[in-house]
């Protein structure tokens, strides 16, 4: 028996050596440097293989998760768009638009000859139908709230009306939108995919199937969706704008980023998401083919403003803000894939303030504020528990912060919850110290400050239950302000007030973490973490 055991051990040793030898061999795909770009002319044709997680829906009326939006943005188009590099507002299906004096009525002139993928021309009436469909009660759209500023939205949501009162087709190419209140930045919000027109006849014919076989006016048209396997889009030759170079885009669907990244490394994908923990290695290997760009999102810790010990204790909230070394967390835990938050509104949003954050890492200042808060050296501080949602690395951030704040005397336990339970507990004020993130739907300061800090949104997006009448008033004032400079100044002031009140602890701003193949050209990962596929071409 022992002889047999010995032979087996030798066999296993040899096997292990063979495995380690093979794993040490150079990989199949040698890293190619991108070819020089300036002299290159875009090449027409080819198939782009893209990474994707299974989307929930491709119906514009329900598009809310990033995978679905990534695909929907290729299929649909709206009145306006955002420049993929600068995020500035640019016309899309609208030729021009004009607000009235107090920004309550907007008149959009549509470009003529824009076609749906089924060949029919898209006219102003299609916007009336599509927006009313989103607002209608029976649609039960998860993203209908984007249309809430439009007159008649509430009646539609309650089922009292089926048509949005505030949206009118003055003629085939003129759309008039009346709002409930002055909202100068309203056109910026129209870049969201939920405002895209859909053809009534196709929606009615397909019913719920429209979510799986969508038709829009975008640069790529839908061809096939094999669930959990692939989505195929093809170039729409009748597109009114910049026609796609590619013949076809195949979104290969993966269960996780890790497998997608392996497929990229094997040369089977043209782009991939870099998994957390492999960012530094990927940057070293793929150099400028790694796209680690600013993203319009913030990762923060929220404090419930209606419960002890956070309630009525700004010194404690500020102490916590001073006790955290954001730079070391972004560098060690996130490998630079996120950058330290320097405020609430991230870089890339018009009005971004570079040095608005009053809190830099200062342990002694944190200790002194803790004394002023009535907890000298942390004595008497009730037992704090930080909640986070499990499964996506938030535990590592929580542990790092736990170690840092301990130094200042702020000691807390950490508990991970499954996502569904977690949101309920925060909403019910059972978890009063929590991790959350916010990614912008459109590049405005309002899209951060209004949902997160207006008291009207308490318990919804304002999970801190922050309620400051001064901030509420200024937010509504900023929405009404038609002068852009004055409006930005108002929002900047609001950001400063909120930061001073410290209902949240801003931790980091998100960044994209994509990698692209050596032959890929014209690839832009936008600050809203999507890619306009019509700009991509493949070098030969």
Q: Which of 303, 248, 246 is nearest to 464 (CA)?
A: 303
Q: Is the Cβ of residue 356 or residue 458 nearer to other proteins in the bound state?
A: 458
Q: Is the Cβ of residue 3 or residue 37 nearer to other proteins in the bound state?
A: 3
Is residue 114 within 8 Å of residue 142, measured between CB atoms? no
Two tokens, residue 301: 């810790």
Q: Is the Cβ of residue 110 or residue 136 nearer to other proteins in the bound state?
A: 136
Two tokens, residue 147: 């249309």
Q: Per CB under 8 A, does 27 bind other proteins?
A: yes
Stretch that binds other proteins, among 24-32, 72-80, 95-103, 238-246 (CB under 8 A): 24-32
Stretch that binds other proteins, among 73-81, 124-132, 140-148, 161-169 (CB under 8 A): 140-148
CB of 420 to other proteins, least distance (A): 3
Rounded CA separation 255/253 (Å):
7
Q: Per CB under 8 A, does 8 bind other proteins?
A: yes
Q: Is the Cβ of residue 265 or residue 335 nearer to other proteins in the bound state?
A: 265
Among 30, 204, 208, 355, binds other proteins (CB under 8 A): 208
CB of 223 to other proteins, least distance (A): 16
Can you list the alpha helix ranges (DSSP code H) found in 57-115? 66-75
Neighbours of 301 (CB within 10 A): 22
Q: Per CB under 8 A, does 178 bind other proteins?
A: no
Under DSSP, is residue 111 helix (H, G, I), strand (E, B) or coil?
Answer: coil
Stretch that binds other proteins, among 70-78, 119-127, 368-376, 452-460 (CB under 8 A): 452-460
Mark 247-275 as b/e (b = at least 16 C-beta within 10 Å): ebbbbbbbeebeebbebbbeeebbbbbbb
Q: Is the Cβ of residue 141 or residue 404 nearer to other proteins in the bound state?
A: 141
Q: Per CB under 8 A, does 360 bind other proteins?
A: no
Q: Which of 399, 329, 348, 268 is nearest to 512 (CA)?
A: 348
Stretch that binds other proteins, among 179-187, 379-387, 424-432, 471-479 (CB under 8 A): 424-432
CB of 454 to other proteins, least distance (A): 11
Q: Which of 458, 477, 498, 462 is nearest to 353 (CA)?
A: 498
C-alpha to C-alpha distances, 393 to 390, 408, 416, nearest whole angstrom = 7, 24, 11
Rounded CA separation 268/263 (Å):
5
First-to-last alpha carbon distance for the chain, in angstroms, is 62
CB of 219 to other proteins, least distance (A): 26
Q: Is the Cβ of residue 20 or residue 364 nearer to other proteins in the bound state?
A: 20
CB of 403 to other proteins, least distance (A): 29
Q: In the range 219-248, which residues lie near other proteins by CB under 8 A?
A: 226-229
Cα 13 to its chain centre, rounded Å, is: 49
> H/E element holding 404?
helix 394-408
Number of shown-chain residues binding other proteins (CB under 8 A): 61
Q: What angle do CA 452, 329, 409 make, to 5 degrees?
A: 85
Among 423, 476, 520, 524, binds other proteins (CB under 8 A): 423
Q: Is the Cβ of residue 68 or residue 99 nearer to other proteins in the bound state?
A: 68
CB of 472 to other proteins, least distance (A): 15
CB of 445 to other proteins, least distance (A): 17
Among 100, 360, 362, 457, binds other proteins (CB under 8 A): 457
Q: Which of 277, 336, 281, 293 is nearest to 508 (CA)?
A: 336
Q: Per CB under 8 A, does 165 bind other proteins?
A: no
C-alpha to C-alpha distances, 315 to 156, 161, 375, 376, 387, nearest whole angstrom = 45, 49, 10, 12, 21
Q: In the range 244-273, which residues lie near other proteins by CB under 8 A?
A: 252-256, 258-260, 262-263, 265-266, 268
- Interface residues with other proteins (CB under 8 A) are 1, 3-5, 7-8, 11-12, 19, 22-23, 25, 27-28, 56-57, 62, 64-65, 137-138, 140, 142-145, 157, 208, 211-212, 226-229, 252-256, 258-260, 262-263, 265-266, 268, 418-421, 423-425, 427, 441, 451, 457, 459-461
């Amino acid at each position: 028996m022992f002889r047999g055991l010995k032979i087996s051990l030798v066999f296993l040793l040899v096997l292990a050596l063979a495995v380690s030898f093979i794993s040490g061999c150079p990989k199949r795909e040698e890293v190619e440097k991108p070819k020089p770009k300036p002299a290159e002319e875009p090449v027409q044709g080819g198939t782009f293989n893209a990474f994707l997680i299974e989307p929930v829906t491709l119906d514009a009326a329900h598009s809310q998760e990033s995978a679905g939006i990534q695909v929907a943005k290729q299929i649909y188009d709206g009145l306006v768009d955002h420049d993929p590099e600068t995020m500035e507002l640019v016309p899309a299906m609208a030729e021009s638009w004009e607000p009235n004096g107090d920004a309550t009525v907007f008149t959009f002139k549509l470009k003529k000859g824009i076609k749906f993928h089924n060949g029919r021309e898209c006219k102003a009436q299609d916007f009336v139908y599509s927006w009313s469909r989103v607002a209608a009660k029976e649609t039960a759209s998860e993203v209908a709230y984007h249309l809430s500023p439009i007159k008649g939205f509430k009646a539609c949501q309650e089922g009292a009306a089926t048509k949005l009162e505030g949206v009118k087709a003055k003629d085939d190419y003129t759309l008039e939108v009346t709002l409930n209140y002055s909202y100068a930045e309203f056109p910026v919000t129209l870049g969201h995919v939920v405002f895209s027109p859909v053809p009534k006849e196709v929606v009615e014919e397909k019913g719920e199937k429209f979510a799986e076989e969508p038709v829009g006016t975008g640069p790529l048209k839908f061809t096939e969706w094999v669930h959990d396997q692939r989505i195929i889009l093809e170039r729409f030759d009748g597109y009114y704008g910049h026609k796609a170079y590619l013949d076809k885009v195949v979104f290969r669907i993966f269960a996780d980023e890790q497998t997608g990244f392996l497929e990229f490394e094997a040369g089977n994908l043209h782009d991939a998401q870099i998994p957390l923990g492999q960012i530094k290695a990927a940057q070293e290997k793929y150099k400028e083919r790694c796209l680690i760009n600013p993203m319009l999102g913030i990762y923060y810790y929220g404090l419930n403003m209606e419960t002890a010990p956070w309630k009525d204790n700004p010194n404690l909230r500020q102490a916590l803000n001073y006790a955290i070394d954001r730079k070391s967390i972004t560098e060690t835990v996130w490998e630079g894939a996120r950058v330290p938050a320097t405020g609430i509104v991230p870089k890339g949003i018009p009005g971004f303030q570079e040095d608005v954050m009053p809190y830099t890492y200062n342990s002694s200042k944190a200790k002194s504020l803790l004394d002023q808060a009535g907890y000298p050296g942390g004595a008497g501080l009730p037992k704090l528990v930080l909640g986070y949602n499990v499964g996506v690395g938030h535990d590592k951030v929580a542990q790092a912060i736990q170690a840092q704040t301990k130094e200042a005397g702020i000691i807390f336990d950490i508990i991970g919850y499954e996502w569904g339970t977690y949101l309920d507990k925060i909403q019910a004020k059972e978890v009063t110290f929590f991790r959350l993130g916010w990614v912008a739907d459109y590049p405005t300061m309002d899209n951060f400050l209004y949902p997160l800090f207006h008291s009207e949104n308490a318990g919804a997006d304002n999970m801190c239950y922050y309620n400051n009448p001064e901030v509420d008033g200024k937010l509504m004032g900023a929405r009404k302000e038609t002068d852009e400079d004055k409006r930005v100044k108002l929002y900047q002031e609001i950001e400063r007030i909120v930061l001073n009140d410290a209902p949240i602890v801003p931790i980091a701003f998100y960044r994209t973490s994509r990698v692209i193949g050596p032959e890929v050209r014209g690839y832009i990962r936008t600050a809203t973490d999507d890619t306009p596929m019509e700009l991509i071409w493949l070098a030969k």
